[in-house]
Chains A and B, each alone.
Chain A
Amino acid sequence: MTITTQENVNIKPDTKGGQNNKEGKKAKHVFEVSDLNLWYGSKQALYEVNMKVPENQVTAIIGPSGCGKSTYLKTLNRMVEMVPSVKTSGSIKYKGKEIFSESFGVEDLRTKVGMVFQKPNPFPKSIYDNVAYGPRIHGIKKKAQLDQIVEKSLRGAAIWDEVKDRLNEKAFGLSGGQQQRICIARALAIEPDVILMDEPTSALDPISTAKVEELVQELKKEYSIIIVTHNMQQAARISDKTAFFLNGDMIEFTDTDELFSNPSDKRTEDYITGRFG
């Protein structure tokens, strides 16, 4: 599994012919992205991206500002379509199901593929109500069940001990790092399969960052995580695989150790050695 990237994904035609949605492929990959193009109006932001995102691993996406890494991440749960002028072509299969197809509603997709944003964005509600928001919109009303979900999610996000005595206080009263972990707990509460993280530590101080990174390591036992980061050390520390994006192209996608020690593309090497970006 060391040779990957473009050569690797070009072997993909066999998945197209092979009715892969029937076989399920024992779900080794959560996402199979093929020939993804994306435009904002007339400006193309992603070019022919091909990627297979492995299950129960941390996949990091790195690249300089404006390279399309956030756009790509938001395409995976179709949040990118909140921008009215967005057009896409190509295919993204989530566990064998085409996410752009009519039959796969965005609400269903986003229930399976949760998201943590760059800036902590708790609702102006209590800590409890923040975490219970997801379960509630999906119809869970029983207090006892909600209590359990909230506790499990807050424990999962490693913040239970800090907030257990003030669940009814507003989430805004917490520090930025705590707020971000509340947002992670909120994402965990609907028990997704995948968690997308869009530079989740860029607004946090080093100690909070360390806590979130530690948490990511813990979470990958149960979830597949895709994390966009502009911090290469972070990618190297926490991810199993890393993709390097540049100007809307995916230049290289391979094991993190490989990418940082022995990049196969000159541009990757220039970026990770700090020659630009």
Chain B
Amino acid sequence: MQLINHQNIQKRSGGRVLLNKVFKVLFFLSTTVGLIFLSMLLYRVLTQGTGHLNWDFITNFPAPYPDKAGIFAGLIGSLMLMAIVAPITIIIGVGTAIYLEEYARKNRFTNFIQANIQNLAGVPSIVFGLLGLTFFVYLFQMGYTLIAGGLTMSLLVLPVIVVAAQEALRAVPNDVKEASYGMGASKWQTVLRVVLPAALPGILTGTILSLSRAIGETAPLIIVGAATAIYSIPDSLLSKYTVMPIQIYNWTGRPQEEWQLVAAAGIIVLLTVLLLMNAIAVWIRNKFQNRY
């Protein structure tokens, strides 16, 4: 007895193929929506900003006149902020991830921590700003300083890095860990010699991507008191500082048309730094990732 009627299948096959084509077009269109808006944005920014973009713009401090104004304070501020955020978040974030993935027993408590970290990764950045204001600026009396901004930003980035590092650690095949344990290696030896080297590309890419998100953050830094116009670069952790997004925000808020062009030039610098960081992430991934 035949349970399958091949003639019916034949009749329906045209429809199935057509449906496949329809979805292919739909998916292509959704991809282009993103591309169209990205290219519109880039086009606008580039046409407006390139006129103002020159070496002086990068090396000048803010000024009351558009053609004298520069982004030097913001650029250096952003880079210094990252120099604080990166080591703090990498050490604490990777440490947390190693503990949760390799050491902690899977019980309700660790599940609770796990769920909370994932929730924290989705908390709006302004909430972290308020937290930083309460703790670092007021409670620890750091004031509106670079270190207060850096620590606040670290809190913001930390959950994302923990989650990324956990994923990378989880992707290390179990059988190489077993091989190490099977020779009498301790957990730490296994983590240090087998797990971390294999997970490193994933951890670094995740870290750089979350840092490049942080470099564009504005809201939490406004709350913890980053300056809008500043005429020196920070010389210590307790200096006043500003960052590129705040500088750009400040320029966009001004009524004169010319300042908009300055802001566009600032956006180009910010995007360049972002692209550089992403390029490094891609480079690291390609360099180390063909291990398994």
Contacts and interface: CB of A to CB of B under 8 A. Distances in A.
Interface of A: 77, 79, 82, 84, 106-111, 114-115, 117, 119, 121-124, 133-134, 137-138, 183, 186-187, 190
Interface in B174-220: 175-176, 178-186, 189, 193-194, 197-198
A82 B178 contact: yes
B183 A117 contact: no
Given A79-B182, A82-B178, 6 more contacts: A107-B186, A117-B182, A124-B292, A133-B180, A133-B193, A134-B185
B176 A137 contact: no
Contacts of A106: 184
B36 to A, nearest CB: 42
Nearest to B105: A84
Interface in B276-292: 291-292
Q: Which 4 A-B pairs have the closest CB atoms?
A: A111-B184, A121-B175, A110-B184, A115-B182
Contacts of A110: 181-184
Given A121-B175, A121-B176, A190 B182 contact: no
A168 to B, nearest CB: 16
Given A117-B178, A119-B175, A124 B198 contact: yes
B106 interface: yes
A158 to B, nearest CB: 20
Interface of B: 105-106, 173, 175-176, 178-186, 189, 193-194, 197-198, 291-292
B175 A114 contact: no
A111 B198 contact: no
A82 B187 CA distance: 12
Nearest to B288: A124
Given A84-B105, A84-B106, A121 B179 contact: yes
A107 B184 contact: yes
A137 B178 contact: no
29 contacts: A77-B182, A79-B181, A79-B182, A84-B105, A84-B106, A107-B184, A109-B184, A110-B181, A110-B183, A110-B184, A114-B183, A115-B182, A117-B175, A117-B178, A119-B175, A121-B178, A123-B179, A123-B194, A124-B176, A124-B198, A133-B180, A134-B183, A137-B180, A137-B189, A137-B193, A186-B179, A186-B183, A187-B182, A187-B183
Contacts of B175: 117, 119, 121
A187 B183 CA distance: 7
B183 A137 contact: yes
Contacts of A111: 183-184
Contacts of B186: 107, 137
Contacts of A121: 173, 175-176, 178-179
B185 A137 contact: yes
Contact of A133 (B173, B183, B291): B183
Given A123-B179, A137-B189, A137-B193, A190 B184 contact: yes
A77 B105 CA distance: 21
B184 A117 contact: no
Nearest to B172: A124
A109 B185 CA distance: 11
Contacts of A115: 182
A36 to B, nearest CB: 20
A136 to B, nearest CB: 8
